[in-house]
A and B are shown apart, each in its own frame.
Chain A
C-alpha cells in the first residue's frame, strides 16, 4: 500500500491540511519516528522481507493517515478554548489582506455599528443623564430612593442590550444573560449589592461615553463614505448629469478629464481604507465595551 515511509507521511500531511501548522509538524514528526523505528525492528526480525509488506502490517497497527489525522484533529479541538483570541498571524500577502477587506462581513458589520452608535449614544446618554439628575433631584423626597433603585436596575438591562449589539456586530463575546441575584435576598440587599458593584458605575460611564464616541464615529465614517461615493460617481455626475465636483459663488469646478481615473481610483481606495478603519475602530470599541460592561470575576 505504501512503498515507503515518505509516502505515508505525505498522505498524512494531505489529510491534515487546514490544521494548525504546528499540529501538522508534530503529527508528521511523531509518525515518522514511529514508522521508522517499527520498520527497522521489523527488518531486523524478518531479514529479506519486502519493506512494503512490513510497512503495511505496521500501518495496520499504527492507523491509516486518515485515522491518525483524525486523532490529532480531535485533540486539537479539545485543547483550543473556543473563545481564545486567534493568534495566528494573517499569512496572506499584503495586497490580498488589503483588498480582501471588501469581502469581509465583519468590516461591514463594524461599519454598521459605528454609524448607528450615534443613535444608540443619544438614547443611552439621555437615559443616563435623565436618570441620574432625576434621582439626585428627587432624593429629598420620599420616592427619590425607589426611583434611583429602578434606574440602577434599568442600567443593567441597557448594558445587556448593548452587549448583544456589540457581540452581533463587532464580534466580541459579551454576556448573554443578566448577573443573577438570588431572589431570596431582599430588594434592599440587592440594591446595595448593585451600588457596591463596580460594574454599575462603569456601565453608567459607558452609557454616557457612547454619545461623544458615537458622534465622532458617525462624523468620521459618514464623511469618508460621502467622499468615496462622490469620487466613485464622478464620471457619471460630470459626463451624464453635467454636475461639477463643487460649485462656489464664482463658478463651477469640473475636474480635468485626465484626472478622472485617478479620482475614481482614490474613491475605491477610500472605501477600502474606510472598511479597514471600521474594523480597527470596531475592535477597539468592542474592547472598551467588554472592559466597562462585563463583570470582573
Chain B
C-alpha cells in the first residue's frame, strides 16, 4: 500500500521531468543520439533515474518530436533494425530554456516550503 503510494508519487513527479531531462541531454550532445545511447548516458548517473524505466523514455521522445521540439532521422544499423537518431530543434532549445526557468522556480518554491523558510502556519 505504502509502496504503491510512493510509486504513484514518483510517477507523477517524473511525468514532466523526463521530457526536461531528454531535451537537456540532447541539447548538451554534439551529435544526434539514438534511444539506447540516451538511456546509456542516463544510466551512468547512477540509480537516480532507475525509477524511470528506459522503455518509457521512447514514447516521450516520440511525443517531443511530434511537438516539434526534436527532429529525427532513421539510419540503418549493422546489427539490428534501423536506428532513429534524435536531435534538438531551435524551437526545442527555446522551450528548454523556458522549462529550465519553470523547473528552477518550482524547485525553489518547493524547497522553500520544505525547509520552512516560508511561513505557512496559520495566522
Report the tally of A-B residue pairs with Cβ distances under 8 A. Answer: 83
Which residues of the other chain, A, contact B60 by a CB distance below 8 angstroms?
A: 71, 75
* A27, A34, A61, A62 interface centre (most CB from chain B within 10 Å): A34
Partner of A34, one of B58, B63, B79: B58
**Contact yes or no, B36 A38, CB < 8 A:** yes
**Residues of chain A within 8 A of B32, CB atoms compared:** none
Q: Write the B36-69 contact mask toward A (1 if CB under 8 angstroms, else 0).
A: 1001100100000010011110111111001000
Residue of A nearest to B37 (CB): A37
Q: Do residues A37 and B79 form an inter-chain contact, with CB atoms below 8 A? A: yes
Q: How far is the CA of A71 from the CA of B58 in the complex (A)?
A: 9
Q: In the bound complex, what is the Cα–Cα distance between A38 and B37 (angstroms)? A: 9
Interface residue total, chain A, C-beta cutoff 8 A: 25
User: Which residues from B are CB-within-8-Å of A68?
Assistant: 53, 55-56, 58
The answer, yes or no, to whether A242 is at the interface (CB within 8 Å) is no
A33 touches B80 (CB 8 A): yes
Evaluate contact between A62 and B80: CB separation under 8 angstroms: no
CB within 8 Å of B: which A161-188 residues: none
In the bound complex, residues from chain A placing their C-beta under 8 Å from that of B93 are none
**A29: Cβ under 8 A from any B Cβ:** yes
Choose among A32, A67, A75 the residue that contacts B80 (Cβ–Cβ < 8 A): A32
Dominant SS at the A interface? helix
Question: How far does the Cβ of B86 sit from chain A's closest Cβ, in whole Å?
Answer: 11
Residue contact A71 to B36, C-beta cutoff 8 Å:
no
| Min CB–CB distance B93 → chain A (angstroms) | 22
Of all chain B residues, the one with the shortest Cβ separation from A74 is B59
Q: Check B81–A33 contact: CB distance below 8 A.
A: yes
Known: A38-B36, A78-B63. A63 touches B79 (CB 8 A): no
Closest to B36 in A: A37
Instruction: Assess the B35–A27 pair: CB atoms within 8 A.
Output: no
| Cα A38 to Cα B34 with chains together (Å) | 12
Residue in contact with B63 in the complex, picked from A29, A31, A32, A75, CB distance below 8 Å: A75
| Chain B CB within 8 A of A79 CB | yes
Q: Which residues of B contact A36 (CB under 8 A)?
A: 79-81
* Residue in chain A with minimal CB distance to B80: A36
Known: A26-B62, A33-B80, A33-B81. A61 touches B56 (CB 8 A): no
Residues of A within 8 A of B61 (CB): 30
Contact of B59 among A32, A34, A37, A71 (CB under 8 A): A71
- The contact sample of 21 A-B pairs, CB cut-off 8 A, is A26-B59, A29-B81, A29-B84, A30-B61, A30-B62, A31-B58, A37-B79, A37-B83, A38-B36, A41-B40, A62-B39, A62-B53, A63-B56, A67-B53, A68-B53, A71-B53, A71-B55, A71-B59, A72-B59, A78-B63, A79-B66
Q: Which residues of A contact B (CB under 8 A)?
A: 26-27, 29-34, 36-38, 40-41, 61-63, 67-68, 71-72, 74-76, 78-79
